[in-house]
Each structure stands twice: as structure tokens, then as C-alpha cells.
Chain A
């Protein structure tokens, strides 16, 4: 158990770099533009990147998410970064996790605030220029009234 916790902390704390907050996005179109800025001319594909998020948030103020990219990591082929967007938040660019070949595993977990039901989008950039994305719609509900 402790091993898991330590690993998680090391992975998370050791590799994240918070984004600057100079630009404010407000719409899904702005998120698309931000993804384009990461991807450049590369085609954004789905595949080895997995974003885990709850179907319905238990607490919109603290929604746990995690991202992982499958695949062998070497000096020549590794995940450079994974950026998380939330397209319904006032500032949708949430966090960027930066990795190196020494990261060992491209995995990170954090918690984020979601103001309302919206898409959470992860975008991974690989060292060979490949860009991956994965999207989860997370519902934020007022609750009560369950069976």
C-alpha cells in the first residue's frame, strides 16, 4: 500500500509543471485551438493514451483524474507531455504533465474542479511528434433521490 502511495506521489510531484495562466479560454472552440497549438500539423489520434475520470463526479470541487500512455519508453521514444483541458471551466487549460525518458512510466494523477457537466480532454505529445488525445464527459449533478 505504502509503495503505491509513494510511487504515485513521486510520479505526480516529480513530473508536473503547472501551465502559465496568461490566456483565458472560455469555449470548446478555444480548447480546439489550444490543442492545435500543441499538435501543430500532426494529426491528433486516439489510442495509447487513456484518460480515467468518473462518469459522474461525486464532488465537483475535487474530481480525481489520471492519465497514462502505454508503450515502451526509451531515450529515442517517450512521452514528452500530457495536457489536460476542461472545456466548460472558466479557464479550461488545467495542467500539463511533463515527462522524460527517465520517468519510467507515463502516468500521472491529480484532482480538478469542474464547475458543471463538461468534457475533460487529455492531449499527449510524443517525442516522435505523434499527438494523442482522449476525452471523457464528466457529469456534475446536484444529487439526491437515489433508489
Chain B
């Protein structure tokens, strides 16, 4: 309740001071939005939780366009996070054109991006974290990293995540959990964890031989005069969504029984507040909050959803803190006699232009990028139109990648995975090596060229679609729909598996896809071992360089029905 009011106040401040910002110049917008204003927060009690998640190795500020399509099904239809654009603004009472409207929606995105600038940057994040630590007292703040931290950029790829490890060490989180971390492989993950000064938690990872815990599930802290337990939950479907052969010793899964046991154990061992640091995804954790008992707060990530404040579900607060360093999540708790008696929460948007970068972090970022600076800044081409990734069915970045895959591998169709990481470029921006790797940086980048029959293609689409639109969130894996080049189709999210995909059409000829005919398909990020083909970033460097200027038309190849 209180947090709602606080949030509205913050929203009102932003709206009032920035007003109809499409008319503002960047300088004016920046003058009216200040670091102090971003830090304005109606504090409660003495315990503060700070949450950063899904940075995807973005050390520098980014544009990141929120989705225009994010369909929810079943109980999740039309509720956060499945509200986009104007519906999102209406639901949270955010004024169109305001700073918060820009941070949370794609309404007038390009205009507002030019006004308000990029969000994020780990040096800005450090400034906010340090300011809150100073205000609340170091011993009253827990900083928790929700994972997907070590993957997603050129420098993370070239250093096997060491750039992020070094920079995060400066930020001094109290714990972290993982997902894409595991795509560095078992040995590297263990090597990094050994070097860290804070625990890597996972209640839901067991070894495949004996099903015994691999990592600590829980860490205890005395902060804000309160005994706090933090339990970690890794992305439950990592071995399915990502290559299992890279970490064959470990088995994941939701393992709710084990999680409830760990919550109970934490309480028995004296925890007054129990926090779940989760990489389950927002819908999964909303359901989990209803099914488990004894959790005070769930700090959730993976699905990259950003909501301005925590949801209160059966007295469990669930905060989803976005991605790419765009937001710092904050939850204040007042605790009396071992019970949470009051709270407030918000996502603080990290407006990079109005936050003074932390000098130590800035120097560290400069140092990890310096050896690669020439390559990072090398211009491959320009874009006439906005390039973004996030969306249920497509985005212009993946449209471009799908084109490149078909051309460079001489294929009739192409598949690009429905990842939710990858930043945005505005019309007129250069496309640099840095930008390309922000879309493609990963440890299994080979572009395959294979023949699939029409019926196999349908089966693949149905399978991926069920990972996205299964009405039971526990069966959702957290990615978007596989992007398809060269083919149109109709999708009915509310149907059941096997009946969602229809009207598959080969765009080149306008003919229906023949279930019995074979088609040559190029795709990347296969979870299979020993995939042959060029790396997607090399292939796309060649394609973009040949294009010089790219211009992506609106993609109408996927029709969505019944929503």
C-alpha cells in the first residue's frame, strides 16, 4: 500500500518536472531530472534490499526498447508484466512522455530516447548503490545479483566473463545466482566462484549422479538489526534452454520441495526475513509465491520484466528488476519481532545522463575495455531504422539476423532464438562491433545449415511456443518465440500445444509450407554438441558490412489471433 503511494509520488515528480517531454531538449530534460530525485525514496524500517539482475555484461549505458508484445495467458492475461505500451502507463498511472514512461514502455520510444538518453552503466549503478549504502548505513543494506551477469558483450566473450567478475567485485554484492553463467562451462564457473568474495547460491542444482546439492542454497546475514536468509534459485531450465553438454555434471529444475525445505530450515536457524534471489522468471515466481510459505521477498529475474514496484502476493513481495542495468530494484523492510510490519519498494531507473559515474567503477570499466577499444568502436555499417530485439515474435535486430543467415548460408528459411537480451540502436546510429556482439555474444555461436521437413518445422515452432504460452508458468522457460526468416505463420497463444501454429507460408513464393517437403534452414545457438558452421557474429559482420546501411521494414509475417 505504502509503496504504491511512494511510487505515485515519484511518478508525479517525474511527470510534473519533465512534463510533455517530447518537446523538451535533452539538456532541459536532464536539468529537470536529477540524481537526488532518482534516489528519492520513502524509507521504511532499517533493512534495505537492493537488486540488480540480468545485466548481460552491459558495463556501459544502453538504449533498451521495452516490448510492444508480451502476451500473458491463463491467470496472467492482462496483468503485470503482460501489459505493454499505453496499457502499462494506464495501469501504473504513469504520464505519457514522462521519464518513467520512457523507462518502462516503447511509447514514443525513439523521441524519448533522444530526450532522456541511455539507461544503465555499471559506474552509474555503483553511484546509486553507494549513495543508498551511505544513506541507510552499510550494515543495513544487502545487494543481491540475480544472475545473467557474465554473458552478453564482446569483452565478456573475450575474457570469459572476467570483465564482469572484476567490475562486480567493486560493487560488492552479498550473493548471486546464475543462468547464462553456466554457458562458460563447469570448470570456468567453478574457477570464478572460487575467486569471488561472495557466495554463488543455488537451492535447485544437484549433481546428476547422486542428486546431492552442488552449491550452498542459503546465506545468512545480520543487516538492519535483522537476521536475514537469502536463498538462491538458478534458472530451472538451464540444461534445456542452453547446452547441457557444457555442464553435464549438474541437474537443475524448479525443485519446489527442496526449496520449501530450505525456507523452513532458514526459519529454524533463526532467520527473521527470508529472501529468495531467483532466476525463475516473473510469472514462475508469482505462482511460486502462492504455493510456498515463509518467503518474505522474492527478487526475480530472467524474463527481463520491469515493474515499477513490488507485487504483494499473499504477503510475499515479488520485485522484478528488469535487465541490462536499466534499473536498481530497492525494497525497504520494517521488521518487528521477526515479522515484516511495513515496506516500500521501487525500481530506480538508472538515467545515465544525470547520474555522476562512480570514479573507481568507471576506471575499472575503462581498463577492461581498453585493450579492445579499437575493435569495439569499429563501425560495420549504419541503420536507418530502430534496431531492437525484445518482443514475443520478432524484433528488427533478429529480422536483420534472419536475413543475414539466409543470405550468407544460402538457405530458404532461418531461425534465430527468442533471446531477451540485446540492446537497441536508434535510427541513424552506427552499428559497431560492440553493438553486434551485444546481440550475439555467446559460447555456442555456430550457424548450422540443415534440412528440415515442413512437419519438423511446425513441430519446432509448436514446441517453442508452448515454452512461452503454456498457461502453467512452471512450464514456461522464459524466452520469446523463435524468430523465423523467410516464413510467415499465424499463432494462437491461447490454444494448446500442437494447435497454436497455422498458415505456415514460404514468403518467397507465397506457397504453403509442405509438411512432406524439405527446406534448407540456417540457424544459430543450437544446444547440440559439435555444431558445424561459422560463428554468428562473424557471419553478421560480413552481412552488415556488405549492406553498409540497413533499413528494417515493419515485419508482418506473424499474425497473432485469439488474444
Selecting from A26-34, A77-85, A139-147, the interface stretch reads A139-147
**Bound CA–CA A70/B370 (angstroms):** 61
Choose among A109, A145, A146 the residue that contacts B235 (Cβ–Cβ < 8 A): A146
**Given A8-B210, A55-B474, A56-B475: A144 and B241 within 8 A (CB)?**
yes
- Scoring B residues 416 to 449 as 1 if CB is less than 8 Å from chain A, else 0, what string do you get? 0111110000000000000000000000000000
Point out the residues of chain B lying under 8 angstroms from A147, CB to CB: 179, 235, 241, 281, 302-304, 418-421, 477-480
**Bound CA–CA A59/B475 (angstroms):** 15
Q: Which of B433-486 contact A (CB under 8 A)?
A: 459-460, 463-464, 466-467, 474-475, 477-480, 482
Point out the residues of chain A lying under 8 angstroms from B464, CB to CB: 144-145
Q: Is the CB of A4 within 8 A of B210?
A: yes
Chain B binding surface SS class: loop
Task: Categorize the interface residue count of chain B.
Answer: 35 or more
Choose among A52, A109, A143 the residue that contacts B240 (Cβ–Cβ < 8 A): A143
**Bound CA–CA A58/B236 (angstroms):** 10
**Bound CA–CA A73/B495 (angstroms):** 47
**Given A5-B210, A55-B474, A56-B237: A143 and B527 within 8 A (CB)?**
yes
Task: Categorize the interface residue count of chain A.
Answer: 20 to 34
A37 at the interface (CB under 8 A from B): no
Point out the residues of chain A lying under 8 angstroms from B500, CB to CB: none
Point out the residues of chain B lying under 8 angstroms from A55, CB to CB: 236, 253-254, 474-475
Q: Which residue of B lies closest to A5 (CB)?
A: B210
B320 at the interface (CB under 8 A from A): no
B510 at the interface (CB under 8 A from A): no
Q: Is the CB of A146 within 8 A of B477?
A: yes
Point out the residues of chain A lying under 8 angstroms from B478, CB to CB: 146-147
A54 at the interface (CB under 8 A from B): yes
Point out the residues of chain B lying under 8 angstroms from A52, CB to CB: 257
Measured CB to CB, the closest approach of chain B to A3, in angstroms, equals 11
Q: Which of B271-296 contact A (CB under 8 A)?
A: 281
**Given A54-B253, A55-B253, A139-B475: A146 and B241 within 8 A (CB)?**
yes
Point out the residues of chain B lying under 8 angstroms from A143, CB to CB: 240-241, 527
**Bound CA–CA A141/B476 (angstroms):** 11
Measured CB to CB, the closest approach of chain A to B364, in angstroms, equals 27
**Given A55-B253, A64-B251, A141-B463: A146 and B210 within 8 A (CB)?**
no
**Bound CA–CA A71/B352 (angstroms):** 60
Point out the residues of chain A lying under 8 angstroms from B237, CB to CB: 56, 146
B212 at the interface (CB under 8 A from A): yes
Q: Which residues of A contact B (CB under 8 A)?
A: 1, 4-5, 8, 52, 54-56, 58-59, 64, 109, 139, 141-147
Can you offer 26 A-B residue contacts whose CB atoms are under 8 A?
Answer: A5-B212, A55-B236, A56-B237, A58-B244, A58-B252, A141-B463, A141-B467, A142-B460, A143-B241, A144-B241, A144-B417, A144-B482, A144-B526, A145-B417, A145-B418, A145-B419, A145-B467, A145-B479, A146-B238, A146-B240, A147-B235, A147-B241, A147-B304, A147-B419, A147-B478, A147-B480
Q: Which residues of B contact A (CB under 8 A)?
A: 179, 210-212, 235-242, 244, 251-254, 257, 281, 302-304, 417-421, 459-460, 463-464, 466-467, 474-475, 477-480, 482, 525-527
Known: A145-B418, A145-B479, A147-B479. 15 other contacts (CB 8 A): A1-B210, A1-B212, A5-B210, A54-B253, A55-B253, A58-B244, A143-B527, A144-B525, A145-B419, A145-B464, A146-B241, A146-B242, A147-B302, A147-B303, A147-B420
The 5 closest A-B pairs by CB, nearest first: A146-B241, A147-B478, A145-B417, A143-B240, A58-B239
